[in-house]
């Protein structure tokens, strides 16, 4: 496992830099008030890290409750209604409080300005506002959860969501406010990328994580408002009964599905594109090779963002959509597979003949590639209308999107977290425990969700709290896997938190990465750079380490 | 007139880049507003297709002359806000502030006309969904017209109120001489928002009142 020392050469540019900057963005100003009113993008990133990690913990707790309930065929620890509430809260918390804001909110805020040589994002006050919108949205949703929760599933399908007696409107309103925060972040990033790139960083020299954030932000800005109006309409209908989606009053519930998925399908690319961007950075750094096909990787992000807007109909294959529409949406959905494959082949080509250092972040990269390939291929299968009719609303669908969201997004999130942790906090975590955590997560994840593919294919429907006895063994396997997965998360959490106190100083560039964000100290000073860095080479440029075989 | 340099935040190289960023940000925000209303326009299109004759009958229940008056009011207010920006660039700050106040006044006129219309609808029972109780037009789809009507004009009305708040802020700043010369971006982007509010009404008026 341990790489030869030669595979991590010290970066010559950092020779004179201190190992740990005593006066940095974390302690330049002190006291809680300095955090609550900060305009520093790095501190806002750290606040997002704390908040979204808490959401991940809460959502994970709900997931474990669900898996415990499904340990036996009959009722185990909760009633049917509690189960419905629990899976709704699991979905809402994971999607709106973790998956969508996490990578852009944490790593986008922290590293986007560092990667383009800027002092901050374009609108620092709006950036702080996005944190408070996140808090407000979470508080409103939490109010609904405490006062009865919702039992509609995170998709809020009408007419059930407008007639249910559970407290669905605060959760809708919370998601609306969270959406406003997401829009603000996306808008801020687009303007930052357009106006604040340092001299020497043209569009075609931006790090690929920045390209991924750019594509993500476009989706956030253009899709989220449609979710906003849709959720408002459901809330109005739920409270006042205007009948806009209610067939009893002449309304059309399928209109809700169209409007909901017009946002919510592109939203899965809000979740996965930043993870893809982070993986590109980590993969190049640990293969010690230039990213193969820079332009292809950059433009495939935009391609996914674009095509993502024309795929929503694949959620309506069984909702009375015409066969022609279903076929068109199926084919358009497969285009996403083409752009994703472009990325996967370029990543593989980057690894080819690279000098690979197997460190903790790299294990997540390998896990990500496996999960994305597996989740992506089952996605292509689900986009095929005839197959989808068989798998509709079964555990096959559940397993598919968990492979992309948990496998893809969380593996990307953890790769980014373990790769950038030394830069963010200036400390090294225990490499041994890091690898143990990553391995547990990889194994636990597979044991959780591969059985669910099999269950779904045998016909086990999603969103039921009981099931026939023939599904028992695979459900036990899934719950066992989920326990290992949870243990893995706890190991990661503990090893990272302990590193803050006991970790060795990281130095400016512990991985020997050529990414632009490593050109400053660890942790960075309050103003990002002591002196403005220069950018004479492409990001991810390792040509001098690979004489005679450049990346392209 | 204050020195232009004092308005540049530390992370921008100069005022020009900062103004460009503000304009780009506002354009993106306007795009989100258009998409927010797009959901309602989609609902309008669907239900108009499902209930063509009910929509025709129900749209006769709302007063075209009132809608036309409000259209004139809002277009005039777009002119006054544009003139405010024009005079702000010439550093005629008091005149700019007065024009912003006129714009706000036209906003109040718009809301007043809308309130008269709403009062009439409440009186007659031209109401959304289950609240609809107008005896003169009892066909499926008529309540849906008023659902769409109240949602669209209501959301638009909220935007008018927000816009008037923004313009009040700008008018106070302009009166105190906070803008002028090179630094007029706040009035420019605030005016862009007001134009969008006007523009959405220009689409609502024909769809709801005329056809």
Tell me if B122 is assigned to some domain.
yes
Strand partners of residue A505: A427
Give the residue among B66, B62, B205, B211 at the shortest CA–CA distance from B146: B62
Other Cβ atoms within 10 Å of A325 Cβ, number? 12
The answer to whether A516 touches A507, Cβ cutoff 8 Å, is no
Please report the DSSP string for A515-528 in residue order.
-GGGGS-SSPPTTS
pLDDT exceeds 70 at position B5: no
CB-based contacts of A307, cutoff 8 Å, min separation 6: A332, A335, A336, A339
Q: Is residue B96 part of a domain?
A: yes
Give A10's DSSP letter. P
Assigned token pair, A544 = 């001098």
pLDDT at A16: 63
Among chain B residues, the shortest Cα distance to A41 is held by: B11
DSSP string, A251-311: --HHHHHHHHHHHHHHHHHHHHHHHHHHHHHHHHHHHTSPPTTHHHHHHHHHHHHHHHTT-
What's the domain range around B146? 12-210
Q: How far apart are CA A492 and CA A73, in angstroms?
A: 32
From the DSSP assignment, how many helices (H) and strands (E) are in chain A?
18, 0
Residue B55 lies in a domain: yes
**Cα-atom radius of gyration of chain A, to the nearest Å?**
23
Tokens of B21: 């960023």
Q: How far is CA B92 from CA A410, B81, B181, in A?
A: 56, 14, 9
In A, what residues contact B, Cβ < 8 A?
A: 113, 118-124, 183, 187-188, 190-191, 194-196, 221-226, 228-230, 233, 236, 240-244, 246, 249-252, 255, 258-259
Q: Which of A113, A228, A255 sits opposite B46 (nearest CB)?
A: A255
Residue A89 is predicted with a pLDDT of 94
State whether B32 and A224 contact (CB < 8 Å): yes
CB within 8 Å: B11 and A196:
yes
Distance from CA of A102 to the nearest CA of B (A): 22
Give, as one character, the DSSP assignment of residue A4.
Answer: P
CATH architecture of A44-545: Up-down Bundle (1.20)
Q: How far is CA A394 from CA A227, A268, A362, A464, B19, in A?
A: 25, 19, 33, 10, 52
Q: Is the dihedral of CA A337, A219, A307, A300 positive or negative?
A: negative
- Chain B residues in contact with A190 (beta carbon < 8 A): 24, 28
Give the C-alpha separation, B177 to B38, whole Å.
38
CA distance A527 to chain B (A): 9
Number of residues assigned to chain B: 211
Cβ–Cβ of A244/B29 closer than 8 Å?
no
**Subunit contact B147:A243, Cβ cutoff 8 A:** yes
Give ipTM to 2 decimals.
0.93
Region of B144 on the Ramachandran plot (φ > 0 left; ψ -120 to 50 alpha; else beta): alpha
DSSP A316-376: -TTTT--HHHHHHHHHHHHHHHHHHHHHHHHHHHHHTT------HHHHHHHHHHHHHHHHH
Q: For A30-115, where are the alpha helices, taking DSSP H only?
A: 32-36, 41-69, 80-92, 102-103, 109-115
Whichever domain contains B143, its CATH number is 1.20.120.80
Q: A124 vs B140: CB contact, 8 Å cut-off? A: no
- How long, in residues, is chain A? 552
Q: Which two tokens stand for residue A469?
A: 């006895």
Cβ distance of A118 and B11 shorter than 8 Å: yes
Examine residue B1 and state whether it is found in any structural domain, yes or no: no
Which runs of E-coded beta strand occur in B32-77? none
Cβ–Cβ pairs < 8 A, chains A and B: 112
How far from chain centre, in Å, is Cα A4?
32
Judged by CB atoms closer than 8 Å, whether chains meet at B39 and A224 is answered as no
Per-residue burial over A366-389, b if 16 or more Cβ lie within 10 Å, else e, is bbbbbbbbbbbebbbebbbbebbe
Residues of B in contact with A251 (CB under 8 A): 144
Q: Euclidean distance between the first and final Cα of chain B, in Å?
A: 50
Going by pLDDT thresholds of 50, 70 and 90, the confidence category of residue B1 is very low
CA distance A257 to A515: 42
Q: Is A37 within 8 Å of A456 (Cβ atoms)?
A: no
Q: Which residues in chain A have their CB less than 8 angstroms from residue B33's CB?
A: 225
A142 neighbors A136 (Cβ within 8 angstroms): no
Q: What is the pLDDT of residues B98-155, one digit of tens each?
A: 999 999 999 999 999 999 999 999 999 999 888 998 888 888 899 999 999 999 999 9
* Interfacial residues of B (vs A; Cβ cutoff 8 Å): 9-12, 17, 20-21, 24-25, 28-29, 31-33, 35-40, 42-43, 46-47, 50-51, 128-130, 140-141, 143-144, 147-148, 150-151, 155
Whether B137 is covered by a domain: the verdict is: yes
- Number of folded domains in chain B? 1
pLDDT score for B6: 72
Residues of B in contact with A122 (CB under 8 A): 11, 21, 25
Question: What is the rounded average pLDDT for all residues in chain B?
Answer: 93
Q: Cβ separation of A124 and B11 shorter than 8 Å?
A: yes
Residue B24 has its nearest CB partner, among A191, A224, A246, at: A191
Distance CA A279, CA A414 (A): 10
Q: What is the pLDDT of residue B180?
A: 84
Residue B182 pLDDT grade (very low, low, confident, very high; cuts 50, 70, 90): confident
pLDDT, one tens digit for every residue, chain A (552 residues): 344 333 444 444 455 677 888 889 999 899 999 999 999 999 999 999 999 999 999 999 999 999 999 999 999 999 999 999 999 999 999 999 999 999 999 999 999 999 999 999 999 999 999 999 999 999 999 999 888 889 999 999 988 888 888 889 999 999 999 999 999 999 999 999 999 999 999 999 999 999 999 999 999 999 999 999 999 999 998 888 888 998 888 899 999 999 999 999 999 999 999 999 999 999 999 999 999 999 999 999 999 999 999 999 999 999 988 999 999 999 999 999 999 999 999 999 999 999 999 999 999 999 999 999 999 999 999 999 999 999 999 999 999 999 998 889 999 999 999 999 999 999 999 999 999 999 999 999 999 999 999 999 999 999 999 999 999 999 999 999 999 999 999 999 999 999 999 999 998 999 999 999 999 998 999 999 988 899 998 888 888 876 655 444
């Amino acid at each position: 496992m341990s790489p030869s020392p030669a595979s991590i050469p010290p970066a010559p540019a950092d020779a004179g830099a201190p190992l740990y900057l005593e006066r940095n963005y974390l302690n330049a100003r002190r006291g809680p008030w300095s955090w609550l009113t900060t305009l520093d993008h790095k501190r806002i990133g750290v606040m997002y890290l704390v908040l979204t990690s808490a959401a991940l913990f809460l959502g994970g707790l709900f997931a474990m409750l669900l898996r415990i309930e499904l340990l036996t065929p009959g009722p185990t620890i909760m009633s049917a209604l509690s189960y419905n509430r629990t899976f709704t809260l699991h979905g809402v918390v994971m999607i709106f409080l973790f998956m969508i804001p996490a990578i852009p909110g944490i790593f986008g805020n922290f590293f986007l300005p560092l990667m383009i040589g800027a002092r901050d994002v374009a609108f620092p006050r709006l950036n702080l506002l996005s944190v408070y919108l996140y808090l407000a949205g979470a508080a409103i949703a939490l109010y609904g959860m405490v006062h009865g929760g919702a039992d509609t599933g995170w998709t809020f399908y009408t007419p059930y969501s407008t007639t249910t007696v559970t407290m669905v409107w605060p959760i809708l309103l919370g998601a609306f406010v969270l959406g406003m925060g997401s829009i603000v972040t996306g808008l801020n990033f687009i303007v930052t990328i357009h106006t604040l790139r340092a001299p020497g960083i043209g569009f075609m020299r931006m790090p690929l994580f920045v390209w991924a954030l750019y594509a993500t932000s476009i989706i956030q800005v253009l899709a989220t408002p449609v979710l906003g109006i849709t959720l408002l309409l459901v809330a109005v209908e739920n409270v006042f009964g205007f009948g806009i989606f209610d067939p009893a009053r002449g309304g059309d519930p399928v209109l809700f599905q169209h409007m909901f998925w017009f946002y919510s399908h592109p939203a899965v690319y809000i979740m996965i594109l930043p993870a893809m961007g982070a993986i590109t950075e980590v993969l190049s750094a640990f293969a010690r090779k230039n990213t193969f096909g820079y332009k292809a990787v950059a433009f495939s992000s935009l391609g996914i963002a674009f095509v993502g807007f024309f795929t929503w109909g694949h959620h309506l294959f069984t909702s009375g959509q015409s066969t022609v529409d279903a076929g068109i949406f199926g084919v358009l959905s497969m285009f996403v597979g083409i752009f994703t494959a472009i990325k996967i082949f370029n990543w593989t080509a980057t690894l080819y003949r690279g000098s690979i250092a197997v460190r903790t972040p790299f294990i997540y990269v390998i896990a990500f590639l496996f999960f994305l390939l597996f989740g992506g291929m089952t996605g292509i299968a689900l986009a095929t209308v005839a197959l989808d009719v068989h798998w509709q609303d079964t555990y096959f669908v559940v397993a598919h999107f968990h492979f992309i969201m948990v496998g893809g997004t969380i593996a990307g999130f953890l790769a980014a977290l373990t790769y950038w942790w030394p830069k963010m906090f200036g400390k090294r975590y225990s490499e041994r425990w890091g690898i143990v955590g990553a391995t547990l997560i990889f194994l636990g994840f597979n044991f959780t969700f591969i059985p669910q593919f099999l269950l779904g294919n045998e016909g086990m429907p999603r969103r039921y709290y009981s099931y026939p006895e023939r599904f028992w063994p695979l459900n036990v396997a899934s719950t066992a896997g989920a326990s290992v997965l949870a243990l893995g998360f706890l190991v990661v959490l503990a090893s990272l938190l302990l590193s803050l106190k006991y970790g060795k100083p990281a130095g400016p560039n512990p991985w020997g990465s050529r990414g632009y964000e490593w050109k400053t100290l660890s942790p960075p000073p309050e103003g990002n750079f002591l002196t403005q860095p220069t950018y004479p080479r492409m990001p991810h440029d390792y040509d001098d380490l690979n004489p005679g075989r450049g990346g392209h | 007139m204050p020195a232009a340099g004092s308005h540049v935040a530390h992370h921008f190289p100069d005022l020009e880049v900062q103004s460009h960023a503000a304009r780009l940000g506002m354009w993106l925000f306007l795009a989100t507003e258009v998409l927010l209303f797009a959901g309602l326009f989609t609902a309008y299109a669907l239900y108009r297709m499902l209930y063509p004759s009910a929509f025709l009958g129900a749209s006769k229940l709302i007063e075209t002359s009132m809608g036309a008056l409000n259209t004139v009011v809002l277009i005039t207010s777009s002119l006054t806000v544009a003139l405010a920006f024009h005079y702000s660039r010439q550093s005629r700050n008091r005149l700019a502030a007065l024009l912003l106040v006129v714009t706000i006044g036209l906003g109040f006129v718009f809301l007043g006309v809308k309130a008269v219309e709403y009062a009439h609808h409440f009186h007659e029972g031209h109401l959304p969904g289950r609240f609809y109780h107008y005896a003169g037009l009892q066909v499926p789809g008529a309540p849906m017209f008023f659902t769409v009507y109240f949602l669209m004009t209501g959301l638009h009305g909220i935007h008018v109120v927000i816009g008037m708040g923004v313009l009040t802020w700008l008018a106070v700043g302009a009166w105190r001489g906070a803008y002028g010369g090179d630094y007029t971006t706040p009035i420019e982007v605030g005016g862009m928002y007001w134009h969008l509010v006007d523009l959405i009404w220009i689409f609502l008026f024909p769809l709801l009142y005329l056809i």
